[in-house]
Amino acid sequence: MVLKEINSIQSSTKDLRSFGFVVGGCFAGLAALSAWRGHGLAPMVLTAIGGPLIIGGWLYPRALKPLQKAWMTLAVLMGWVMTRVILSVIFFAVMMPFALCLKLMKKRFMMLEFDSRRASYWERKPEELFDAKKYEQQY
């Protein structure tokens, strides 16, 4: 799935120009912020990175294609990793406490043990739940 997404990265002239302006503009903005805060070397380095990206995106966007492919591949890989991290954090922050509370209250929603004395595991529901009028006006 990740390889399919990496292979589908668009590299048209418009995409390359946009890449140069956006990424170069971000570096230029960081350079301005760094200069405003009085840092010595950082603004020059950030300008040396952002300036050619902006100029390259404006004059010759095709030259940015390898850099754009590498940048977007890194972005796809970071997105793949961060998706798993975020979903894991949500799972452990929501589901684990919920399961722990249910376990402490000894609440079970499923019968997991096998009971050889039971003829069937089918559980009957009250007939009132299956009233046709409830299906006509559900909300």
N- to C-terminal Cα distance for the chain? 40
Tell me how many domains the chain contains.
1
| 87 is a domain residue | yes
| 55 is a domain residue | yes
| 70 is a domain residue | yes
| 71 is a domain residue | yes
| 126 is a domain residue | no
| 139 is a domain residue | no
65-70 contacts, C-beta under 8 A, 24 or more apart: 65/11, 65/16, 67/19, 68/9, 68/11, 68/15, 68/16, 68/19, 69/9, 69/11
| 47 is a domain residue | yes
CA distances from 124 to 16, 18, 116, 118 (A): 63, 62, 19, 14
What pLDDT score was predicted for residue 130?
Answer: 67
What pLDDT score was predicted for residue 72?
Answer: 95
| 115 is a domain residue | no
At 42, list the tokens: 């950082």
Q: Which domain holds residue 41?
A: 10-106
What pLDDT score was predicted for residue 128?
Answer: 67
CA distance 46 to 33: 10
User: For 23-80, how does the pLDDT look when each residue is reduced to its tens digit (9 = 90+)?
Assistant: 999 999 999 999 999 998 999 999 999 999 999 999 999 999 999 999 999 999 999 9
**Quick check: pTM over 0.75?**
no
Count of other CB atoms within 10 angstroms of residue 53: 22
Per-residue pLDDT, averaged over 9-35, amounts to 95
